[in-house]
Structure 1
Amino acid sequence: MISYNENRTTALIDVAETFGLPEANGLFMEGFLESDHPAIPNIDAGYVFRKEQFRDVYGFLEDPDGDGFYIHGPTGCGKTSLIRQIAARLHWPVQDVTCHGRMELSDLVGQHTLVNGSMQFMYGPLANAVKHGHILILNEIDLVDPSELAGLNGILEGSPLIIASNGGEVITPHEKFRVVATANSNGAGDSSGLYQGVLRQNGAFMDRFSLLEATYPDEEIESFILAKSAGALPEELRQKMISVANEVRRIFIGEADSDISLSVTFSTRTLVRWARKTLRVRSPANPNAIEYALFRSLTARAEEEERIAIHQIAKDIFGDHWA
């Protein structure tokens, strides 16, 4: 087992300069001095922060006021990356957990494990976050049995974490401990049928969270992202890719006037992948580079009918540029 120095020094971070938000000029946020702690996320230099979302996360991280923070929205809209990229720039360690239907509270707390011939208690992500002041991110939290999540109620309110399986160890929450949950639903279950396995969450548990509804980035932001990540691609083609992505998203979430239903959609990451792959395979010998890259980036994992529908949308939007 490798141990790391948790004696981190706090520091004031310039919001406007660090997060690219000039309207926040003169605003500072408490983070930490830069370190090589392995739980600090890597910075994505091309990430673009949206001031409305940042404002809510800023308020929570500065003073959670006894709450957790719950971000819900359609798949691929950047719920987790928002927190990770803020934490990366604040040099704030993150315990990142992907939840599932069989997850139990003990998976988060820790368990005894055989180490060098003897049993030792290995702290889980929740215990580490509580003890050392990390941000605990619970991704896809609405897949977990609500009865298991009820065990977090006291922790969210600031009560000590008591680990009965480790001799009744009591861990008082670090002042920098934060809990962030992400989900496709707002805790009331999934009425759209898009997200299998989503469960309606306990009302008392949900009452312990501040909520943020995340959406896909607007066209201006995605234009900026594509210009930075695939600037060698003509602007006209980049804009058409964004138009395709937005139309697919509208169909996916049921906002488009269409008889088509889709089980896959565009995240900004997928959009960037499409643009970059198009650049890599473009050549006179490959006149179908845009379609080929779309298949490799997204539609290879779609059902045949969905693939045909998405490619038809792209063909209609690209027109003569499609081939």
Structure 2
Amino acid sequence: MMSGTMQAETTLVSLGDLFGLEAIRGLRYGVPPRPTQQDIEDLVPTPDPAYVFTLDEVRRLILWEGGEVGRNLMIGGPTGCGKSSLIEQFCARLNRPLYRFACHGGMLFTDLTGQMTIRADGSTGFVYGPLPRAMREGAVLLLDEGNMAPPKVVGALNTVLDDGPLFLPETGELIQPSPRFRVVATGNAISHGMDAVHYRGTERQNIAYLLRYLQFQTSYKTATEEAAILHRAVPGLPGKVIGLIAEFAHEVRSGFLEGSSPVPVPTRVTRKWAAVLHTRAKALRNDPVNEMLFGLKFVLTDGLQADHAKAIEGTLSRMIDKLTLTDEDFKTGVGIPATIPAQEDPTMELVVLLNPNRGGKNEIRVWVLGSCDRTGKTFTASAGITPFTPFVPKEDISRQDAMIALQQKLNQRGYVHCLDVKLGPSVGIEAARRATDAFTKAVAGAKPVAVSSPAVRDIVSALCKASGTQVELVMN
């Protein structure tokens, strides 16, 4: 007989902190602790710090997870757009155990429910499948490519999808669903519409089955979202290379959706590609065009038909034909850690972070932590580059609170480490605040940028040099 799990009390946590979205920072949601039972705890996915959520994704998933509007969710979208990884990362943030089952045309309903097997000692016993385990444990059951399953199998799920019990004839048990039990099915051609031509093996699902699910149609990440993911996943790769990968992926995906490209370029491929380039950084610096082509072949096109590979590689070749890289590209740039050499007896330190897609709205934000050893004062400040908004400082906060805020920004809120600046004893905290404000204006494209003192001018000049920003400074 299966044993159930106790329902732990939840802790209210900011949704903005959980999913890295500023727009919902003020909203709180109850999150349970990680399961203490080892075999169930192992089912909670590992968070991917590079993952980027959108506001629409979180809004829909929270409604589904809450269970008040429906406990079953169908996610449709093109191949490689991240349907399953979306659920995995959502469950990781909420400490939700996840059973993932890959559906296929030859599956039986007993693959989900379980079956009698012969034990090592020669006796027979029933091994529970993912469905009864998820029902009893209050876990999430992910049916990968659910529309690959034969209709007779998914039809047998109807009672469970209607919040009913599951009867196991082998054991005589009637499994009642936990209030926390959820079902999510993914599919490339959910309604078997025009895009089904790309996906052989999909089964036409009847309307009664589909109506038992909430519906969510998703697609590929935008170029901006893709770049943000790559910046987090491979922070040492030059910004211009990451930008080209993101733009290339977006163009090929658009062609795939329109029918002019034979295959898409999923995010899992762009991340491998970026990792290959980062590993071969020296070769990339010396011969960026051929190295980018080599990386693409290694992670994707060498496994395709010759004509398909030629078409995709031709798209990349047109985009990178005149690409050049310098040593500075590998030292600085958005998402690239860089350090300005310290002056003698440094007392002021600035840590600069950048969010390339704040709140999923294509807004670029800068966040700065400044600390002064001489005075013991610490401040944080944030500002917008596009659209430009002046710095809003939080002054005289504790160093500990500032470091906690820094880690939250890096781990959850979509920010990437841009550069570190160490400054000499003549620089005060007020000059540092003014300088970071002026630096933001320079990055936003303002010309000229007014500065109030030689100290501010020197800091802005150092920041702009380290980040590759062209600036014209005037004293006011």
TM-score normalised by length of structure 1: 0.91
- Corresponding position: 1:14 with 2:23: no
Cα deviation 1:20-59 (Å, max 9, x = unaligned): 1221123222332124511111111111111111100100
2:170 is paired with a residue whose SS is helix
Instruction: Look up the equivalent residue of 2:309 and give its one-letter code.
Output: R
Partner in structure 2 of residue 266 of structure 1: 265
Change (3 A) 1:43 1:191: closer
- Corresponding position: 1:48 with 2:56: no
- Corresponding position: 1:236 with 2:240: yes
Inter-partner Cα distance in structure 1 for 2:169 and 2:194: 35
CA contact (8 A) 2:142 2:183 kept: yes
Partner in structure 1 of residue 155 of structure 2: 150
Change (3 A) 1:284 1:67: closer
CA contact (8 A) 2:50 2:229 kept: yes
- Corresponding position: 1:78 with 2:77: no
Inter-partner Cα distance in structure 2 for 1:106 and 1:64: 29
Change (3 A) 1:310 1:30: same
CA contact (8 A) 1:129 1:135 kept: yes
Instruction: Look up the equivalent residue of 2:26 and give its one-letter code.
Output: G
Partner in structure 1 of residue 170 of structure 2: 165
Higher strand share: 2
Instruction: Look up the equivalent residue of 1:175 and give its one-letter code.
Output: P
TM-superposed CA distance for 1:191, in Å, is: 4.4
- Corresponding position: 1:122 with 2:123: no
Cα deviation 1:249-285 (Å, max 9, x = unaligned): 1222226xx4xx41x3211121111111112123359
Partner in structure 2 of residue 111 of structure 1: 115
Change (3 A) 1:299 1:254: same
TM-superposed CA distance for 1:11, in Å, is: 1.3
CA contact (8 A) 2:165 2:177 kept: yes
Q: Which runs of 5+ in 1 are unaligned?
A: none
Change (3 A) 1:118 1:284: closer
Question: Percent sequence identity over matched residues?
Answer: 31
TM-superposed CA distance for 1:113, in Å, is: 1.3
Greater alpha carbon shift after TM alignment, 277-286 vs 296-305: 277-286
1:313 is paired with a residue whose SS is helix
- 2:302 aligned residue (300, 303, 308): 300
- 1:177 aligned residue (178, 181, 199): 181
Change (3 A) 1:65 1:228: closer
Instruction: Look up the equivalent residue of 1:27 and give its one-letter code.
Output: L
CA contact (8 A) 1:108 1:126 kept: yes
Partner in structure 1 of residue 30 of structure 2: 30
Inter-partner Cα distance in structure 2 for 1:277 and 1:66: 42
Change (3 A) 1:284 1:220: closer
Instruction: Look up the equivalent residue of 1:186 and give its one-letter code.
Output: I
TM-superposed CA distance for 1:240, in Å, is: 1.2
TM-superposed CA distance for 1:321, in Å, is: 2.1
Inter-partner Cα distance in structure 1 for 2:174 and 2:283: 67
Change (3 A) 1:194 1:110: same
TM-superposed CA distance for 1:64, in Å, is: 4.8
Change (3 A) 1:284 1:108: closer
CA contact (8 A) 2:188 2:196 kept: no
CA contact (8 A) 1:143 1:197 kept: yes
Higher alpha-carbon Rg: 2
Partner in structure 1 of residue 461 of structure 2: none
Change (3 A) 1:39 1:210: same
Partner in structure 1 of residue 254 of structure 2: 250
CA contact (8 A) 2:64 2:70 kept: no
2:258 is paired with a residue whose SS is coil
CA contact (8 A) 2:196 2:202 kept: no
TM-score normalised by length of structure 2: 0.63
TM-superposed CA distance for 1:123, in Å, is: 0.7
CA contact (8 A) 1:71 1:182 kept: yes
Instruction: Give the paired residue count.
Output: 315
CA contact (8 A) 1:29 1:62 kept: no
TM-superposed CA distance for 1:182, in Å, is: 0.4
Q: Which runs of 5+ in 2 are unaligned?
A: 326-476
